[in-house]
Structure 1
Amino acid sequence: MTEYDRPFSIELPAKRQAVTMAATVASWLGYIPSLAGDKELPDEPPKALPASWYYSPEIYQLERRAIFSKRWILVTHKLRFTKPGDFLRFEEAGFSFVLCLDREGNLNGFHNICRHRAYPLVSEDEGNVKILSCKYHGWSYSLNGKLAKAPKFEVVPGFQKENQSLFPVHVHTDALGFIWVNLDSSPNPVPWEEDFDGVDRQERFQRFDFTQYKFDHTWQMTGDYNWKTLADNYNECYHCTIAHPDVARLADLSYYYTVSTPGHIQHFSRPKPDKVDEDIQNASTYYFPNACMTVSPHFFYMMRCVPTSATSCSMEYEVYRHIEASDEDFEYIDSFFKRVLDEDKHLCNAAQKNLNAGVFVNGQLHPDLESAPLFFQNTVRSLLKSHSDEERKINREIWPARQHSAGQATAEDVAFCLGHYNFNMISFRQCLAIAALPLAHTALALNDISSRAQSATNLCGDNDYIILESSPWIVYNMLYNAAQMVGTQCTNYDGMTTSDSGTKEVLWSSVTDIDYVASTNNVPKGYSFVGLTQNLETKLSAISSIPAVYNWTPTNTTEFKGNICFDFMTNDVKGDSTSSSSRELMLWLQYEGGQLPIGWTNGPAATIDNLFGTSWTLYEDINTDTGITVSTLMPTKQFEGSFSGDLKNWLLAMADLGRFTESTYVNVGNAGYL
């Protein structure tokens, strides 16, 4: 009995019959099991998040939804706003927004988007204005965000200026004057105190009077690394002895430690005894998700590590100088920190290259010296999993920052784009992806099979297919008993769309039209599926992960008999998926109408516990038509409409049962309706 610790939250919507399917790259959540060569130790140190979390575009888009458009973010200090009309422009993970001081002394936040045609209102990073004016069509807004003028719209029937204010951003100023924003469009976002209560009342801040500092300058660096790479780096000084000679020379690193609490990480350090007179004492805090602040008697600086893509970021720095700091003291401490921060940039750039290379999975972290990076990573993991669970419940992405315009027409158009309309088809919505397979080969022999054009089409032949351009997928209609069928079974390619996260989605459907006669059991024996044409013929040991999401909605069920499954082919010979030495692996997610796997009459061959959140029973035997051994896993609790998980865990579980080894080739991979 094999056990894996990758549970996934499963949604069980109402069942129907039929099949519109969509394939997209999935977000990968949770740890990947240990690969060959990793030692299983009784007290194994904790491991970092997998490398894929540091380069996956899908994880980045999920972070934009789950973190950067939902949590409070530290951005600046009130010292930067001294008179009405002062404004600052910020970017956070692709979201652009503006903070502006109005004539009543209120600090307001707005998305940097004109309500007319989405043109950016502000292009400068900072400045002073009397009014916010769009340079596209001339719409203008007062400093409180209300629409002041929309040229020539006064003659448009039904136009209401009061409904055209700028999209607001929540703003909070803490007790020390630091300014936070929350981009959630809800009028009641998560309370600031939920994560940061007391962060502005730290005892170590009491010796610093923040009103005695003044804003001095900003500076910026770009990094070719994921924003979390820098967060991991910043939140430990395990590397300081080797990588930061200035720090090692001045600081007592044997004393350094961190304290992690919800929302922030406090860093504690002290100078070496012979360096106390140099007055380099400071207090540093990391504020989740991506900001930090260090204050010293001479200055304080803020850093925001702004994500610009899955593998790039911009470090934005604000430097404030104490009003009594001498030029010599200020320049010394300022240059000291800039050297250290530049060293960190080069460390992160180099590490990210290897994270991107597809070799490294994750490493063991020191439970004490790297406790803060572990705390940070656990926070990221928890927020992403929680948000992903909510998305699976409603079968669509949730973008908290998205604004909602009034109007029935808008709602209908948005619903149409999201595919909420059901056109009375037999349809499943499906998402499938295989990632981090280094080789690219075609897995199916397609020479003698009729192909179709790239446009939407119905595939009703015995072996009919369409290879999707600019994608690794094929949509395929396969029938085993076409001559005996009474009726038809067609697999329809309906098109390809792009989700809000930027991932491609293949829409397809399987439609069965027969008059079922129980006495003859004249069901169509076939397979409708989306299969991979690339990134296959790879050894299991070389695959870092196979993230997959599969959602389906059956409709019009009448005497339905079939199953929803993943279907892989393995062999010790690269590319061989047809000889008797091959093994067919099937992961049945839902099965109805008495459909039974090959080997059912033999009884269970093995069981697996806690794989994808449930237990499984293995049935297997030789398919007498092909001579290939078929190994089918059936869940104790069926997945009625939704599945999400890393399919490599399935393959590893089968390897642990001795069905093959990690040197076995994965030659075919698809998902569909059998």
Structure 2
Amino acid sequence: MSSLTRTLPASWFCSSPLYQLERRAVFLKSWYLLGPVTRFHQVGEEVKYEVAQVSLTVCRRSDEPRDISILNETGSEVKSCITETGLVFSTISDEAPPFDEFFSDLKPLIGKVDFTKLPHRRSIKYEGKFNWKTMVDGYQECLHCQYTHPAFSVYYPPTFYTVYNHTNFSQHVADPKKPDDGLFLYFFPNCTLNVYGGGMSSFRVCPTENPGFTRMEFDYYHEETGAKFEEYFKFVRQVAMEDYELCEKAQENLEKGVYYEGILNPIKETGVAFYQQRVLDMTLAQHDNETRFHPVEMHKTSTSKLGTATQLIDPASS
């Protein structure tokens, strides 16, 4: 019998040296959803972002919605992509591969929605006491939804909830018989997009230099204003805060040693296995590349941890 997939160990959610390695391995080599073109609705207004300690400034330069500049903290233009249906993606480093290589099979899926028709209504941000992966864990699995998101489960019952993993993104489908009933996407490593109920929300899970703290950034879009938008906003905020509370409790258990690692459900947690494997593969590749010139301590462990791999050990915790 093949071994079951296991989670990343707790040290990967608590270690500063491991986060710095993740930053070089994952974040500098990825693409990020900044929003639809409607997020940048005022000519000349600067919208600020920060991903993995890299600052970006986005500005719409003219009345043409797609005339958008994205500059890093040195004032240099970064690699970006505006899709045919109006989503704006950016990198934070020249180390990222081309967009169509990173998300090779994404465009047909997002081509089903005209994102230029959803006006930006509100953005909020705040910090949480959890690692960025703790939040992604919660989004990428569907075991907890019925218990922690009772209102959401009324509209999207978890019985047939399925996660389809693609090249650096996942699609969540509440009912495989109704694939067009809402669009729920996770973009590796830390962005989401949720289109349902006449509106759209997205969030970015932004790691800080402290692995136990994460900044959450939310953007909300809707066809309507006034009471209809506020009703939608109240509903999606309730779901977000339910996840927030769950993540803080999970991180506390990780840091106290209550939980070290575990087995992932082979049916309901394929989304978690998918993204954690990507983190592991990219981090190990970065580590191997760097240790060709700067050897550091390594320790081999079980080959059942997210496939055949080695576990990086934080020397400070040894």
Give the aligned partner of residue 298 of structure 1. Answer: 198
Letter in 2 for 1:341: A
- Give 1:259 deviation, angstroms: 0.2
Of 309, 312, 315, which aligns to 2:216? Answer: 315
Quick one: percent identity of the two aligned structures? Answer: 27
**Residue aligning to 1:343:** 242
- 2:98 matches 1:191: yes
Cα deviation code 1:197-256 (max 9, x no counterpart): 3323217x62x4322211111112321000000001001121012111212333222121
4+ aligned runs moved over 4 Å, structure 1:
610-613, 644-648
Residue 375 in structure 1 maps to residue 274 in structure 2: yes
Deviation at 1:647, TM superposition (A): 11
Question: Structure 1 pair 174/243, CA: closer, same or farther in 2 (3 Å)?
Answer: same
Q: Read off the aligned partner of 1:244 and give its amino acid letter.
A: H
Partner of 1:169: 78
SS state at 2:262 partner: coil
Aligned-partner residue type, residue 254 of structure 1: T
- Alignment partner of 2:50: what SS? strand
Name the amino acid aligned to 1:311: G
**Secondary structure of the structure 2 residue equivalent to 1:364:** coil
Shift of residue 364, structure 1, vs aligned partner: 1.1
Q: How do 1:112-511 and structure 2 match up within 5 A?
A: 112-113=73-74, 166-185=75-94, 189-202=96-109, 206=112, 208-270=113-175, 281-308=181-208, 309-322=210-223, 325=224, 327-395=226-294, 431=296
After TM superposition, the structure 1 = structure 2 runs for residues 101-120 of structure 1, keeping only pairs within 5 Å, are 101-102=60-61, 106-113=67-74
Offset at 1:326?
6.5
Equivalent in the alignment of 1:12: none
Tell me the distance in 2 between the aligned counterparts of 1:647 and 1:285. Answer: 32
Give the drift of 1:354.
0.9
Partner Cα separation in structure 2 for residue 104 and residue 214 of structure 1: 16
- Cα distance in 2 for residues equivalent to 1:283 and 1:611: 39
Residues 168 and 187, structure 2, Cα contact 8 Å, conserved in 1: yes
Coordinate RMSD, CA, aligned: 3.0
Choose from 41, 51, 54 the match for 1:95: 54
CA distance in 1, matches of 2:88, 2:312: 39
Query: Is residue 298–residue 329 contact of structure 1 (8 Å, CA) maintained in 2?
Result: no
By percentage of residues, which structure has more helix? 2
Asked if the contact 1:72/1:192 (under 8 Å) is kept, the reply is yes
Match for residue 15 of structure 2 among 56, 66, 69: 56
Residues 87 and 115 in structure 2, CA contact (< 8 A), matched pair in contact too: no
2:19, 2:165 → 1: CA distance? Answer: 24
Q: 8 Å contact 2:32–2:91 — kept in the other structure?
A: yes
Residue 354 to residue 198, structure 1, CA distance change in 2 (3 Å): same
Contact 1:107–1:171 under 8 Å retained in 2: no
Distance 1:363 1:282, change over 3 A: same
Unaligned runs of 5+ in 1: 1-41, 114-165, 396-429, 432-547, 551-609, 614-643, 649-668, 670-674
Task: Specify whether residues 241 and 75 from structure 1 end up closer, same or farther in structure 2 by C-alpha distance, changes over 3 A only.
Answer: same
Q: 1:180 to 1:239 in 2, by over 3 A?
A: same
Letter in 1 for 2:220: V
Secondary structure, aligned partner of 1:202: helix
Aligned length in residues: 304
**Structure 1 length normalisation: TM-score?**
0.42
Q: Indicate if the aligned counterparts of 1:612 and 1:645 stay in contact, CA closer than 8 A.
A: no
For 1:326 and 1:647, the matched residues in 2 are separated by 50
SS of equivalent residue, structure 2 residue 84? coil
Distance 1:248 1:196 in 2: 29
Quick one: distance in 1 between partners of 2:146 and 2:282?
33
Q: Distance in 1 between matches of 2:302 and 2:265?
A: 29
Higher relative contact order, structure no. (Cα contacts within 8 Å, ≥ 6 residues apart): 2
* 1:549–1:215 CA distance, 2 compared to 1 (3 A): same
Distance 2:312 2:280 in 1: 15
Over residues 640-664 of structure 1, what are the superposed CA-to-partner deviations in whole Å (9 max), with x where a residue is unaligned?
xxxx96599xxxxxxxxxxxxxxxx
Q: Distance in 2 between the 1:645 and 1:199 partners? A: 32
Aligned CA distance change for structure 1 residues 288 and 359 (closer, same or farther; 3 Å): same
For the 8 Å contact 2:134–2:247, the answer to whether it is kept is: yes
Is the alpha carbon distance of 1:310 and 1:647 closer, same or farther for their aligned partners in structure 2, counting shifts above 3 Å? Answer: closer
Q: Distance in 2 between matches of 1:50 and 1:369?
A: 20
Deviations 1:492-539 (A, max 9, x none): xxxxxxxxxxxxxxxxxxxxxxxxxxxxxxxxxxxxxxxxxxxxxxxx
Q: Evaluate the alpha carbon distance shift between residue 243 and residue 215 of structure 1 in structure 2; reply closer, same or farther with a 3 A threshold.
A: same
